Amino acid sequence: MHTTTTIKDVAAAAGVAESSVSRILSSAHGYSYSDETRVRVREAALRLGYRANAAARLLKQQKKNLIGVAVQLTVHPYLNQLVIAVRDEVLKRGYEPILVEPTQLLSSATRTPFPSPEMLAGVLSLDLSIGQTGSEQFQGLRRELPLVALYPVDSDEIDWVYTDGALAIEMVVNHLVELGHRHIAFAEAPESSYHSDHLKIEGWHKAIRKHDLNPKLARLIEVGFARSIEERVGRIEMQLLSMQPRPTALICTGDESALCVMGRLQARGWNIPRDFSIVGYDGIAFGGYSYPALTTVVQPFGKIAQVGVQRLLDLVEQRHEEAVPRRQRIEPELLVRGSTGKMRIFDG
């Protein structure tokens, strides 16, 4: 059975310490070894067929300079824009970003973490994969190295930087009410495990009370778990069509959903915004190219990246006064475009 030669095997054959083998084979500076020792180590390595793991060695050498950017591989435009903003900010601060899937950071019975916590200065979590339900594993990771989430986390042990979703939904309702809408639908999933969704629902209920809207008219469309945007949009469309009386406006918690719903309703002959108003969430670039252009809540990617990276580096470089996890709120922006207009009675 084939076995891999380790640095321990080379050290034993050459009669030196493992650390000496590592330094000699990597040509590390600042260490003095005799020519005889250097030759003996290299001959032992050659004889035993030892091959150093260059990638692991590089990571180890740069461990104080590497920031893990944890994000699931996705085609979501919002996350793509956030990844770019975070990468640029990390590089600007003199650190090197390394993109990792969140599950790579966790150990299991069949897998060890890679990169390991020892290789990283800290971790930024960009999507909804870390700590959303108070995962003990990720809270354990937070105890090993600095970790900051760029979204709300239902955990008292993790720092998070977040766009104020509750305020964002309240701002959208304010806008629609000013346009005369009082029969408003809000597409969300109350049973969601994501803390960010619950904060948005809190903002929705606060706005309903603020404007004294009739809860039988200002209604929550309970989307539930959907495997795809198409499935989510299909549920929203069917519920809209079955509501009596029919809503005059819809709030979606993602621009992709809003754009897809708008396209489907236009295909049915609805005129937007004359017959119906739609608002999205995130502020992705595509929203500016639809017809009409999408009114949306803009998440300021650059600001989120700047505040999140600064907080992480404060923890990494111990510039913070205390290590108690903090919640840092970023104020959203409502970008009013052509998909929202004054309310009128739908006659189609």
Angstrom distance (rounded) from CA 82 to CA 86? 6
In this predicted model, what pLDDT tens digit does every residue of 200-248 receive, in sequence order? 999 999 999 999 999 888 888 887 777 788 888 898 999 999 988 899 9
- Tell me what pLDDT residue 79 has: 83
Specify the 3-state DSSP secondary structure of 50. coil
At 8, list the tokens. 């321990």
Instruction: Give the bridge partners for 97, in sequence order.
Output: 67
Is the peptide bond preceding residue 97 cis, with omega within 30 degrees of 0? no
Q: Which amino acid is at 79?
A: L
In this predicted model, what pLDDT tens digit does every residue of 99-135 receive, in sequence order? 888 777 776 655 666 777 778 888 998 876 665 544 5
Mean of per-residue pLDDT scores for the chain: 83
Q: Are 166 and 330 in contact (CB under 8 A)?
A: no
At 193, list the tokens. 């495990």
Domains of the chain (ranges, CATH numbers): 7-52 (1.10.260), 63-162+301-328 (3.40.50.2300), 165-299 (3.40.50.2300)
Angstrom distance (rounded) from CA 135 to CA 139? 6
Q: What is the CA radius of gyration of the chain?
A: 27
Could you give the percent of the chain with pLDDT greater than 70?
83
Angstrom distance (rounded) from CA 177 to CA 122? 44
Sheet with 333-335: strands ordered across: 219-222, 184-188, 249-252, 277-282, 295-298, 333-335
Is the peptide bond preceding residue 245 cis, with omega within 30 degrees of 0? yes
In this structure, the number of other CB atoms found within 10 A of the CB of residue 162 comes to 21
Angstrom distance (rounded) from CA 189 to CA 253? 10
Q: What angle do CA 108, 112, 118 make, to 5 degrees?
A: 125
pLDDT by residue for the chain (348 residues), tens digit each?
445 678 888 889 999 988 888 778 766 555 678 888 888 988 888 888 776 554 455 545 544 688 989 887 766 788 888 999 999 999 998 899 988 887 777 766 556 667 777 788 889 988 766 655 445 666 667 777 888 999 888 777 788 899 999 999 999 999 999 999 999 999 987 777 778 888 999 999 999 999 999 988 888 888 777 778 888 889 899 999 998 889 999 999 899 999 999 999 999 999 999 999 999 999 998 899 999 999 999 999 999 999 999 999 988 887 655 556 688 889 999 999 999 999 875 444
Angstrom distance (rounded) from CA 241 to CA 294? 21
Q: Is 348 exposed, middle or buried (0-12, 13-18, 19+ CB in 10 A)?
A: exposed
What is the chain's length?
Answer: 348
Q: Which residues contact 249 (CB under 8 A, 6 or more apart)?
A: 176, 179, 181, 183, 184, 185, 276, 277, 278, 279, 340, 343
Angstrom distance (rounded) from CA 316 to CA 313? 5
